[in-house]
Amino acid sequence: MKRSDILFRLLEEDESRLDQLWAEADRVRKERVGDEVHLRGLIELSNYCRRDCLYCGIRASRRIERYRMSEDEVMDSARLAVRLEYGTVVLQSGEDHGLTRDFITRLVRRIKTETGLAVTLSLGERSLDELAEWRAAGAERYLLKHETSDPDLFRRIHPDCGTEVSDRIALLKAAKEMGYEAGSGVMVGIPGQSYESLARDIMLFRDLDLEMIGCGPFVPHPQTPLGQAVIPSEPRAGARFLDSSDSLEMTERGESRNLSAGSQVPATDLMTTKVVALTRLVCPEANIPSTTALATVNKEHGRELGLTRGANVWMPNLTPLKYRALYEIYPGKATVIDTAEQFHQNLLATLAALGRRAGKGPGGRRSPRVGRD
């Protein structure tokens, strides 16, 4: 699929053509990765973060109660994952250098030897030496969302730490060279994000040959600079970033559009599932989660919409209840009323209603490149 095709389908508003997109994504998902939904047990092991991203509820400058889970607490959560028959745990945190290289190495070794689970690390931008050591200890996957491929937009909402300059794409490439399965993803509807930019994000998923790709709507925490800014929730025609050649190309295809490639992308469930569906078409064998952020903007049906429009992964939260509310990167994210066991029962019922089943084992996948233009 060419970038102009992706762009055209991102701008699609006709319901019957959107239904075709959902059906196509679901068919490719079924053919290429099957009906299994891989379950990754999420353990949010620390809410310390040295960064100050403009939208995030656990950014460094917020005065909130901070926590770090102990080694034994993490192991208890990992054993819970085994009892619930999940094949993978995801160790996620803010960018917390208090989680030392040795601590993570020990944790990875213990999880591998005591549970046999696959280990995904999602610890932010860490050094190449650390990544190499954790890979040698047995970690299989590294997850680092690049959030947007537009470097200016990235820098505007993710201030650098001192003189360090972020280069998440380079880090993902390095992780792949070390033998990790690499995961990344974007936020949909960042203020200033254009359709053109989002189409490039989807092309980049393919170029990076990612094994995991997570896309969620942009949901700022209200107590942050972007949470207090006025952000349009609906598409806004003719905003900045206009690319006249793309508008012309679409006109030549006989379609009239109020929107253009340069319009602001809305942070909605509809737009997010367009991205999920197109990602499935462009990277047919990738593991794609139906994200918590999607389930937050559409509490009733968000999870199901993701799973029926291309997604094949669910990441249930195994963080102890006493910590979950403190990992509030945006409001409404933490399901503090359900224990992991209660949530698991609901999850199984949801999958059964969709005609899907919980995957067994680690659920890793290599994604060969397809159809380059």
Least distance in Å: CB of 49 to ligand SF4?
A: 3
Of 276, 48, 329, 40, residue with least CA distance to 181: 40
Neighbouring CB atoms inside 10 A of 225's CB total 14
Among 39, 56, 219, 283, binds ligand SF4 (CB under 6 A): 56
Contact segment (CB under 6 A) with ligand SF4 among 47-55, 68-76, 105-113, 184-192 equals: 47-55
Q: Report how far residue 276's alpha carbon sits from residue 29's, in angstroms, rounded to the nearest whole number.
A: 11
Residue 326: both structure tokens together: 């403190």
Which ranges of the chain does DSSP label H, i.e. alpha helix? 3-10, 15-33, 71-83, 101-115, 128-137, 151-157, 168-177, 195-208, 244-252, 269-282, 292-297, 302-308, 321-324, 340-353
The distance of closest approach from Cβ of residue 371 to ligand SF4 in the complex, given in angstroms and rounded to an integer, is 33
- Window 248-287: residues binding ligand SF4 (CB under 6 A): none
Determine which residue in the list 11, 49, 74, 91 makes contact with ligand SF4, applying CB under 6 A. 49
* Contacting ligand SF4 within 95-114 (CB under 6 A): 95
**Binding residue (CB under 6 A) for ligand SF4 from 124, 310, 362, 363:** 124
- Sign of the CA dihedral with 25 first, then 181, 188, and 297 last: positive
Choose which of 9, 40, 51, 206 interacts with ligand SF4 (CB under 6 A): 51
Cβ closest to ligand SF4, residue 124 vs residue 191: 124
Q: How far is the CB of 52 from ligand SF4 (least distance, A)?
A: 6
Report the residue from 74, 86, 90, 94 that binds ligand SF4 according to the rule CB under 6 A.
94
Residue 8: half-sphere exposure toward Cβ, Cα within 13 Å: 17
Binding positions for ligand SF4, 287-346, rule CB under 6 A: 329
Question: Does 53 engage in binding with ligand SF4 (CB under 6 A)?
Answer: yes
Considering only 53-61, 104-112, 355-363, 364-372, which stretch makes contact with ligand SF4 by CB under 6 A? 53-61
Residue 124 CB, nearest approach to ligand SF4 (Å): 5
The radius of gyration of the chain from alpha carbons, rounded to an integer in Å, stands at 20
Q: How far is the CB of 164 from ligand SF4 (least distance, A)?
A: 12
Structure tokens given for 216: 């969620």
- 203 phi, psi to nearest 5 deg: -65, -40
Nearer to ligand SF4, 103 or 154 (CB): 154
Q: CA-CA distances (angstroms) from residue 279 to 17, 70, 290?
A: 17, 37, 12
CA distance 167 to 183: 15
Tokens of 349: 């019922």
Nearer to ligand SF4, 56 or 288 (CB): 56
| Residues near ligand SF4, by CB under 6 A | 49, 51, 53, 56, 58-59, 94-95, 124, 329
